[in-house]
Amino acid sequence: MAKLKSIIKRYRVFILLLVANIFIVIINPDLGKKSLQISWKNTIEMLAIIPPIFILLGLLDVWVKKDTMVKYMGEKSGIIGVLLAFLLGSAAAGPLYGAFPVASVLLKKGSRLSNVMIMIGAWSTTKIPLLLFEASSMGLKFTLIRFILNLFGIGIIAYTTEKVLSNDEKSLIYNKALARDI
């Protein structure tokens, strides 16, 4: 019984999605069919992206020593840590949900919380391929203005969040990252 509860808890989002799709199929078969197709397509897309991310995470976890990570992205890393976090996020491939396992590994290795938040912010807003596409479709001036605003916004949000969090809250975040098996 405990094992079943554990499985249900772990896969609750998937189960909820499945139940919702079944409910939609019963209420409106045409819409339900479309919903199932979209859900299936998204699942296949996610399964194509997640394995490479986890392979890279495993390599990062094994190849990069904690001392090295602390030196370059830890509390006293300064501008080097900010630049590395920004470059890591901007050069990353894949959707935003791929950033969170990376963030967890960075936290486990001793990265500063604000640097991890900068990496997530850069991953979500300043990916290099997206900037190139945006420049070609929206114009270089628009892209540069948005990029510069994002730079400041990401930094302000990351440092403000780090300053507002208490030491207990920061410890909780680090402890949750340490507890994750990725």
- Distance of alpha carbon 97 from alpha carbon 47, whole angstroms: 12
89 and 123 Cβ atoms separated by less than 8 Å? yes
pLDDT by residue (tens digit) across 66-99? 787 888 888 888 999 999 999 989 988 778 888 8
**Whether the predicted pLDDT of 182 surpasses 60:** no
Instruction: Determine which of 16-25, 67-76, 132-141, 169-178 has the lowest per-residue pLDDT on average.
Output: 67-76
| 100 in a structural domain | yes
pLDDT at 60: 74
Among 138, 162, 82, which residue's Cα sits nearest to residue 147?
138
Tell whether 87 and 152 lie within a shared domain: yes
| 44 in a structural domain | yes
Tell whether 104 and 143 lie within a shared domain: yes
104 and 180 Cβ atoms separated by less than 8 Å? yes
pLDDT at 172: 93
- Distance of alpha carbon 162 from alpha carbon 117, whole angstroms: 9
Instruction: Collect all residues with Cβ–Cβ distance below 8 Å to 17 and sequence separation of at least 6.
Output: 39
Tell whether 82 and 22 lie within a shared domain: no
Tell whether 90 and 132 lie within a shared domain: yes
- Range(s) of the domain holding residue 77: 64-182
* Mean pLDDT of the chain, nearest integer: 88
- Distance of alpha carbon 127 from alpha carbon 151, whole angstroms: 12
pLDDT at 147: 94
Q: Look at the chain and report how many structural domains it folds into.
A: 2
Instruction: Collect all residues with Cβ–Cβ distance below 8 Å to 153 and sequence separation of at least 6.
Output: 121
pLDDT band, very low/low/confident/very high, at 62 (cuts 50, 70, 90): confident
